[in-house]
Amino acid sequence: MFGALFDFARPLLHRLDPEQAHELTLKALEAGLYPRTARRDDPRLAIELWGMRFANPFGLAAGFDKDARVVAALLAMGFAFTEVGTVTPRPQAGNPRPRIFRLLNDRAIINRLGFNSAGHAQVYARLARRAAGSGIVGVNVGANRDAADRASDYVAGLRCFSEVAAYLTINVSSPNTPGLRDLQAPSQLDALLGRLTQAREELVAAGKPRRPIIVKLAPDIAPADLPGIVEVLAARGVDGIAVGNTTLQRTGLADARSGAEQGGLSGRPLFMHSTVVLARVHQLARGTIPLIGIGGIDSGTAAVAKIEAGASLLQLYTGLVYEGPALLSRLKAELTTYLARAGHARLADAVGCRAAAWAAKPLPAV
Ligand SMILES: Cc1cc2nc3c(=O)[nH]c(=O)nc-3n(C[C@H](O)[C@H](O)[C@H](O)COP(=O)(O)O)c2cc1C
């Protein structure tokens, strides 16, 4: 019923300013207006990672529920996990509005939100009120725009959320905080991860749980820089890599006017590029580091491609804006059909099975 309600509401939502439409969606979710899945996921879709069982590989990407307002609703809709954030230590407003733009004909979005965040304390309080053990919730942490030492902000995020987050994502790939992506340079990344892993050891020594650390990369990393970056991530023993964030690239867009807006591009035009980079990371890490595939997943075919290219988990955001919540059950059904047809008993058997072919593709211009 709510799927149908969304189909009815979508043209109206798409007539509103995108940020107003988003706020309205969050309010609807807070009010309990969302489709719940009673159906259990097909057991073939389940995957074990980091000592956790994900009932299916689909998660909601960071940026949708930045302040942990609707975690329970998203899990009840059938996502196996959701990623809160990006959260900054101190609350901050982000960039001036308008700062989200729809590219309807491209099935894409450009955003330059710039880490609008309620801040650590408020997001922590919301997550701490949740019942323990009810679903997998990761927290994506970032740095305040005016941070004197950005690495300290990430360490503060790890310390703050270790107790309430199933995993931590280190977001060094947002294009909307000037200079942030410099943290992906191997020497800076190494120093940052050194501090984070040390902080985690201290937490573990103090009796706190040891949480997986995931690093979220930009799809725009120059191909020549990728090996050095993956080498640092492997040497520092990160638990996962998310590929990836939004892109600054812009070629081939139908909507030239909105396409000219500054910010990060997400959605369908990002799919090919982000999938090739995902496969290259899989090859460079020799399949030893679990990957989260993100970017332009809006069909079963796209989801299957990400898994075959090397993703163990998937996250989506923009596809949901255009397809509505019914997309999730379609993705699950199509992935289940694929596994049966391809003769994979479990999702894990399909992970990376075509990584070499994907990695060898030329990087398409976005
Ligand atoms: C409006 C908007 C806000 C976002 N905010 C964040 C964020 O705060 N942190 C982050 O790591 N990624 C953020 N993202 C990026 C998404 O998590 C995801 O990596 C990207 O949109 C590509 O996936 P998609 O094509 O399925 O949307 C945001 C994306 C959008 C569209």
134 carries an active-site annotation: no
Locate tokens 């969606």: which residue? 25
* Per-residue model confidence (pLDDT) at position 1: 43
* Per-residue model confidence (pLDDT) at position 231: 97
Atom 13 of ligand 1, nearest CA residue: 63
Reported pTM: 0.96
User: Cis omega (within 30 of 0) on the bond before 98?
Assistant: yes
* Per-residue model confidence (pLDDT) at position 190: 95
Residue in 95, 266, 294 to alter for ligand 1 test, most ligand atoms within 8 A of Cβ: 266
* Per-residue model confidence (pLDDT) at position 259: 83
Distance of CA 54 from the midpoint of ligand 1 (Å) = 21
Catalytic residue among 162, 173, 174, 258: 174
- Three-state SS for the chain is CHHHHHHHHHHHHCCCCHHHHHHHHHHHHHCCCCCCCCCCCCHHHCEEECCEEECCCEEECCCCCCCCCCHHHHHHCCCCEEEEEEECCCCECCCCCCCEEEEHHHCEEEECCCCCECCHHHHHHHHHHCCCCCCEEEEEECCCCCCCCHHHHHHHHHHHHCCCCCEEEEECCCCCCCCHHHHHCHHHHHHHHHHHHHHHHHHHHCCCCCCCEEEEECCCCCHHHHHHHHHHHHHCCCCEEEECCCECCCCCCCCHHHHCCCCEEEEHHHHHHHHHHHHHHHHHCCCCCCEEEECCCCCHHHHHHHHHHCCCEEEECHHHHHHCCHHHHHHHHHHHHHHHHHCCCCHHHHCCCCHHHHHHCCCCCC
Distance of CA 134 from the midpoint of ligand 1 (Å) = 24
pLDDT tens, N- to C-terminus, the chain (366 residues): 445 556 667 777 778 889 998 999 999 999 988 788 767 999 999 999 999 999 999 999 999 999 999 999 999 999 999 999 999 999 999 999 999 999 999 999 999 999 999 999 999 999 999 876 678 999 999 999 999 999 999 999 999 999 999 999 999 888 888 888 888 789 999 999 999 999 999 999 999 999 999 999 999 999 999 999 999 999 999 999 999 999 999 988 988 888 889 999 999 999 999 999 999 999 999 999 999 999 999 999 999 999 999 999 999 999 999 998 899 999 999 999 999 999 999 999 999 999 999 999 998 765
| Cβ < 6 A, ligand 1 pocket | 61-63, 66, 85-86, 100, 109, 111, 113, 140, 171, 174, 216, 245-246, 266-267, 270, 294-297, 316-319
* Per-residue model confidence (pLDDT) at position 23: 92
* Per-residue model confidence (pLDDT) at position 15: 81
Distance of CA 341 from the midpoint of ligand 1 (Å) = 32
* Per-residue model confidence (pLDDT) at position 251: 81
